[in-house]
Structures are given as C-alpha cells and as structure tokens.
Structure 1
Amino acid sequence: MINVQKIREDFPILKRMVNGKPLVYFDNAATSQTPQIVIDAIVDYYSNYNANIHRGVHALSQEATDAYEQARKKIQKHFNAKHPYEIIFTSGTTHSINIVATGFTNLLQKDDEIIVSALEHHSNIVPWQMLCERTGAVLKVIPMTEEGELVMDVYDQLLSSKTKLVFVNHISNALGTINPIEEMIKKAHTVGAAVLIDAAQSGPHIKPDVQALDVDFYVASAHKLCGPTGVGMLYGKEEWLNKLPPYQGGGEMIEEVTFEKTTYAGLPHKFEAGTPNICGGIAFGVAIDYMNSIGFDDIAVYENELLEYGTKRLLEIEGLRIYGTSKHKTSVISFNLEGVHPYDVGTIVDKLGIAVRTGHHCAQPIMDFYQIPGTIRASFSFYNTKEEIDALVEAVKKAKMMLS
C-alpha cells in the first residue's frame, strides 16, 4: 500500500509554487520527477569521486568504475537480463533504437519487411524509415482502432517469411494503451523475425522480465524512471549484440588499434564509445533501487486508482472527449475540449500551477488518425494525488468557460 504523502516528501520539486499556486505535475509521461536520493547520488559523484572510468589505476577512477558497473548490474537485475554485458548504457531510448536500426543496415536486403505499429512515437518510426531508405526494405504498419488499440488480425496478416524486424512500444505515450507484447513477440518469432520493444513509457509502470518475454531488444530511458535525463539502456540478447556492428568508433570500444586494422572490444564496450554519462549511469541505478523500494505492484494498483478517478472526473465536463479508451491502459489521459485548441487549454491550466503536455506528443500519425491537431495529456505518477486531479478538473472547467 502506497503512502503517497510520505513519498511526496522524497521529491523536493513538489514543494515549489508555480504562478503563485502549488505545483501540480501531470507531465510524467515526458519526464518523471527526481527524488532526493537520486539528486544526492549525483552530488556525491561530483563531490567525491568524479573521474573517468575503465582506464585509470588511480583510486578515483576505480571507485567510479565500480559504481558505474554496479549500476549496470542493478539494471540487469531489474530487467532480468541473463548477463550484465547485455545491458548497454546509452543516452536514452532514442539512442538505443538508433543503435539497433543502424546495426541492421548490413543485415537486411531489398524487399525485406519491417513492421511497426500505428501507435509509435516518432523515435520508433523515423529510424526505421531511414533504415528502409538505406537498404530497400519495406515498412509495414499495424493499424489502430478508434479505442486506440492495435488491430491484431492485421498484424497476423502482415507477418511473413519476409518479416525481419518487428518494433512496437509496450505502452503508447500518447494514449496510454498497453500493447499485447507477449503475444506479438511469440508470433514474430514464428516467422524468424527479431523484436524490439520500446519501454520508454512502460518502464515507470511495469517491471519487465526480458528473459520471460523472450524479447530480442528492449530499450528504456532513466528520466521516465525517476532518474536523470541523458541516460538510458539498450538490452539485447547476446547473440544479437554480437551480430550488430559498433554504432560509432572511438575510445573504449576497441581491443587494438593500428593504422592497418582495428579490432573491437567485447560486450558491452563495443557499443559504448567515448566517455559515457558516468554520473547518469550511477544515478540510473539509484533510481531503479528507489522505485523497487516503493514496489511496482503497489505502484500499478495506485496509479490505476488515479486513472479511474481522473477519467471519471474529467468526463463530468460537458464537451470533453478522451482519446485512448482501451481497457488495457496505464495512467495517461489524453483529451480535448470540443471546439478549443489544446494549446490554449494548456496555457490557462499552466497559469493555475498545473503542468500538462499539449500537442501531438511526437506521435503525429495518431493525431492524424483522429483528425485533430493534438491533445491535452495528463499523465499521473505514484506521487500524484486525487486532490491534484480535482485541481486539474477545476482548471479545465475554468479554461472551458474562458475559451468557449
């Protein structure tokens, strides 16, 4: 059972005022807030053992290396990867996806097929389009329904011996829909296709088991998981990571360099060229520990309460429409007021101290499907409250009165 008031004390930013009002932060799908324990870890690194890793024999370098590699093991354990070296530190989900997309350039042939879904973030569309341009592969799209769910019958029809890759998000950032990834992974594997799951949105809500899922690649960002920005992870099965070439060249990712030939280091260093975000990786591990101390089962129960309460309260407002009404969704409510641009609502709501996201949420094909310019998105986390939802409802009512 979550003690939300006690949890809120862990987040210093929740004490601040915005436009003279107490901050209500409902933009968690873009970036979660950071608890003091993670902030302290960042300060501790720069205050006490700031040094480059893996290369130094001096004490600070060894301390930094140990902390960084311990963080890798924490992430391995959290996602249940088989080996620590199957966890690659990246700058975030987008970087992770691009490593895989670039790596497949020499593994695909003309007319091979790649499948993505209509629910994807631009980060899980554009890299695959670029890959198709480089290789002559063909991009296929699983369509969506009015409720914001994938049409699984069409997915079955799209799968064939030509399918080499399937990419889908675990949870839609724009609608909150939870996709049936277990079923999708199994079906893709029956035709020999590899699967990448974008867990940027599911990471804060669902504790995954990549071995049980039998997924080939799984990617996530720390800043959605109470960690810092600029760091994330790519999980890849060892066999796949060994098949892919390095994403970029430089220090750390080499075994031996001569002007005649360079040989590459083994995993994970093969994909970690240059000086990494050392502090970010360490803080990512601390954030994972923090969220596990709260408990993902308890987080899921509480956030579902917030979702149900928020849905009920917002639907009390006449002329309000919610986009994304799947029975399987997480704590994201995307909505619009009839005849009102979402940006205008977001601006008024902000004046009342409430942070929501407006626009197409880097998911423009979804907005095109609904023939709208964008939505107002309220995304809840385990440190939010029903009282904050009440404040949002009153703010939206005020916006409606002012703009109608």
Structure 2
Amino acid sequence: MYPTVDPLAPNGISRRNFFRFAAGASALASLPILTEAHLAYAERPKFADPNKGIHIDANENPMGPCEAARSAMINIVPRGGRYLFNGEEELAEIFAKQEGLSPESVIPFAGSSEPLHYTVLAFTSKDRPLVVADPGYEAPMWAAKVSGAPIMKVPLADPKGAASHDIKAMLAASSNPGVIYICNPNNPTGTCTSPSDIEYAVANAPKDTIILIDEAYIHLCDAPRSINFVKEGKNVIVLRTFSKLYGMAGIRMGFAIGKPELLAKISQFGGMNSLPITAVAAAKASLLDADLVSTRKKIIADTRMQTIAWLKSEGYSTTPSESNCFMLDVKRPGKGVQAALGSKDMYVGRIWPAWPNSVRITVGTPDEMMAFRKAFTEVMASNTAGLVAPKLPGRLEQMPFTHMS
C-alpha cells in the first residue's frame, strides 16, 4: 500500500512515487537485467564494432530520437547538476492523460526491461511457473531462472501462418502460473495476437495470475492496445518502451502500467533511483509530437513490406510481421547463414532453437535493407554448411526449459 502521508511532496515527489525511493531494497535488486542489446551481442558472429557494418540484429530504430527529443535533451543538459525528480512525475502524468489512465497506474523506468524482470521476480516462484510463447523474447525466462520458477514454453499457433500466441495452450500449460507473458507484437516474429485471444487470457487465467503484456512494438501495428485491462482493474501489467518506434534504445525510457498495488510489488525489486533527466526530457517531447507515431510507423512498414516482397520473389518465406522485425526461413541451418552474413559485416538477428532454419531480421533504413539484399543473395549462392560463429567470452549459457506440445 502507499504511505498515508506524503513527506516528500514539497520536493515534487508524490505519494504514488514515494515507494520508488523509500522502499526497502530487495536482495535481488542487483541481479543483471538482460535487454535485447545483451541478447543480440551474445549472438554476433564476432566482436563487431557497432560503428561499422550494418546492424539489423537488435530491433533498433536507426532513425534515432525525433528532432523535438534531440532538442529537449540538449536544452536540459545545462541543468544536469540538479536532481530534477519532478520531471518523472510530469512525464507519467502526460502519458496517463493521453491514455485515459490514473497517474497512479503509471511508473516510468529506464526502459521496459527492468519492470519486465521485476514482474517475473515478484509473481513467480518454484511453485508458480512462468508461461511464455516459443519462439519468444527470452528476457523473462532469465528472471524466472533467478526466482527458481519453472518455465513453460508453448509453441506459437500456426507457425507457418499467423504465428500468434496459442493462448488456450498457454493457459493449459500450468494450473497455477505466476505470470503469463504475452509479447504483442511478438519478438522475434513481429506477429500480433488477436484482441479476442488476449481477452480470453485475461478472463480465464487463475485469479492470482498476472498477465504481463509487453507492448514494446505496439506503435508499429494496428493491434488494439491492452491498457483498457488496467482501467478495468484486471491483474494485467502492460509494458511500454521508447526504444523502438521512438528511437531511444540507447537513452532508456519506458513505463510499467498496472494497478497501483501491482506496481508497488514490482517496485520493491528496484527502480528507486531517479532517471536521467535527458531521457525524461526526450520522452516528454516524443509523446507531445503528434505526428511522430504515424509518420514513423509508415516508414518502417513500407520498408518492411518491400523487403518481405523481395524475399518472397526470391523464393523465401517470412512471418507475417506487423513490427520492425520478422523471421526469415533460410531453408538451411540459420547459424551458418548468420555467420556468413557477419563475415560481410552484415549483422542479422539470432536463431531460436525452436526454429533452427530461421533468422530474425530487423527492419533498417531503406539503404540498409538494399545492402542486406545484396549480401543475402551472395551468401545464399554460397555454401554455408558448417559455418558457425565463434563463441564470445561470457556468452549466455543454455537454460533448461520445459517445452509444451
């Protein structure tokens, strides 16, 4: 529960943010937080200079922050010697007003990776499994490993078609799941799960189960948003990030959205430090740019559709993505193709064990995707058998997962 008094209010920090600064730190607060950047780096074929070659491997937005966000960061830098805590509260209020939420239902974080991990830590245990789609984003599974929770991996439904979450199978995977994780659109496939399926998950999950809906890529598609579940008081936590459409992956800003009592539980694991004022300023400016989402959504969609159409004309199939990434079936071991492309300084995404003949492609700029076409044509005309990327020191270890059929 929130404090009944507001001792920090004179400094601009409200009762709803007080626990972020005053809550007792958990013993797990220092656990490593894995992000898309960590996972992409672990799969790169060599020590790749991020300033060289073409990187379409980490679902980044090569457009970077919008002009308004860049100006906001420059303008706030002279005030960097001050603890400007009230900026976070203002940011949450802007977002809450835009979405029709109560401000108490929104907490800013440095990206969405932290609240993703903290949600899994807060609501899973050795007796409360994590249920995820396969292939899907791996980060929540690493948090479950820390909490000691079983991990139930459920294959996507109709993988050669819609490649959406198989919600009924996910609900059947455990009688008492702690968290059911739905990434919509899904990473790595870029595919969306229907609103009726998500509604079914929320309506039919056990009463103490948290439905964690990761909307990192939601701005890139037409799928209905899931924030209404929060407004209805459901056991749903929605994650948003500025890393994708807003082009702020290296700046780090995101939101956890949920009932205040759920947010209080996840915030016990971290999020007590103030956020960088540059990130807060950039996020506010981005939210207030009325044309940003629609403009960038079209640019990315046009480039994605052109690339997928070309691949289809060359005889290759992809997932029906609505995001800034898709899975490409290369008809041979994906690791060999990945390594061969890496030798040309063309870095594509990692391979998921469930789909060993597919690689994930991030949608880059039109010029980058034209360069990808050239490199891909050359690689596929060669023999990639046996080509495997050399392991990197500290590479992510293999984890034991439970597979559901």
TM-score of the two chains, using structure 1 as the length reference = 0.67
Q: How does 1:32-47 map to 2 (within 5 A)?
A: 32=62, 33-47=64-78
1:30 aligns with 2:49: no
Which of 154, 160, 163 in structure 1 is aligned with 2:177? 163
Name the CA shift for 1:164/1:122 in 2 (closer, same or farther; >3 Å).
closer
Partner-residue secondary structure (3-state), 1:130:
helix
What is the Cα deviation at residue 376 of structure 1?
Answer: 5.1
Shift of 1:207: 8.3
Instruction: Identify if the C-alpha distance between structure 1 residues 278 and 205 changes in structure 2 by more than 3 Å, giving closer, same or farther.
Output: farther
Match of 1:189 among 203, 211, 226: 203
**Could you say what secondary structure the match of 1:125 adopts?**
helix
The equivalent position to 1:149 in structure 2, one of 164, 171, 179, is 164
Q: Which amino acid aligns with 1:187?
A: A
Q: Does the C-alpha gap of structure 1 residues 151 and 25 become closer, same or farther in structure 2, counting only changes over 3 Å?
A: same
- 373, 376, 386: which one aligns with 1:396: 376
The answer as to whether partners of 1:28 and 1:379 remain within 8 angstroms in 2 is no
Matches within 5 A, 1:235-384: 235-244=257-266, 246-248=268-270, 272-290=271-289, 292-296=290-294, 299-300=296-297, 303-317=300-314, 321-323=316-318, 325-326=319-320, 329-335=322-328, 337-338=330-331, 341-347=336-342, 350=345, 356-360=347-351, 367-372=352-357, 375=359, 377-380=361-364, 384=365
Which of 101, 107, 112 is the matching residue for 1:93? Answer: 112
- Using a 3 Å threshold, how does the CA distance of structure 1 residues 393 and 186 change in structure 2: closer, same or farther? same
Amino acid at match of 1:85: E
Q: Using the alignment, how far apart are the partners of 1:337 and 1:187 within structure 2?
A: 33
Aligned to 1:231: 253
What residue in structure 1 maps to residue 90 of structure 2? Answer: 70
Deviation of the 1:217 alpha carbon: 0.8
Matches within 5 A, 1:131-150: 131=147, 133=148, 138-144=150-156, 145-147=158-160, 148-150=163-165
Equivalent residues of 1:349, 1:396 under 8 A apart: no
1:53-64 matched pairs, under 5 angstroms: 53=83, 64=84
C-alpha distance 317-295 of structure 1, shift in aligned 2 (>3 A): same
Q: 1:36 offset after TM fit, Å?
A: 3.1
Report how far residue 279 of structure 1 moved: 1.9
Count, aligned residues: 320
- The CA RMSD measured in Å over matched residues stands at 3.5
Change in CA separation of 1:273 and 1:311 when aligned onto 2, cut-off 3 Å: same
Tell me how far 1:356 sits from its aligned partner.
4.8
| Distance change in 2, residues 1:295/1:174 (3 Å) | closer
1:196-207 equivalences under 5 Å are 196-205=212-221
Q: Contact 1:342/1:359 (CA < 8 Å) preserved in 2?
A: no
Indicate the structure (1 or 2) with the bigger Cα radius of gyration: 1
Q: Distance in 1 between matches of 2:150 and 2:327?
A: 31
| Paired residues of 1:306 and 1:331 also in contact (CA < 8 A) | no
Q: 2 CA distance for matches of 1:23 and 1:164?
A: 42
Give SS of 1:284's match.
helix
- TM superposition shift of 1:159: 6.2
- Which whole-Å deviations, capped at 9, do the CAs of 1:154-209 have from their partners, x for residues lacking one? 2353364x234211211222221112355234433333222111222334546864
Partner of 2:189: 175
Report SS of the residue matched to 2:310: helix
More helix by share: 1
Q: Give secondary structure in 2 for the equivalent of 1:375.
A: strand
Shift of 1:98: 1.9
Structure 1 runs (4+) deviating above 6 angstroms are 22-25
Query: Structure 1 regions of 5+ residues with no counterpart?
Result: 1-18, 54-63, 249-271, 361-366
Residue of structure 1 equivalent to 2:142:
126
Contact 1:346–1:358 under 8 Å retained in 2: no
1:245–1:125 Cα change, 3 Å: same
List runs of 5+ in structure 2 lacking aligned partners.
1-48, 385-405
Residue 239 of structure 2 aligns with which residue? 219
**TM-score using structure 2 length:** 0.66
Measure how far apart 1:95 and its partner are: 0.9
Identity %: 12
Shift of the 40–346 alpha-carbon distance from structure 1 to 2, 3 Å rule, reads: farther
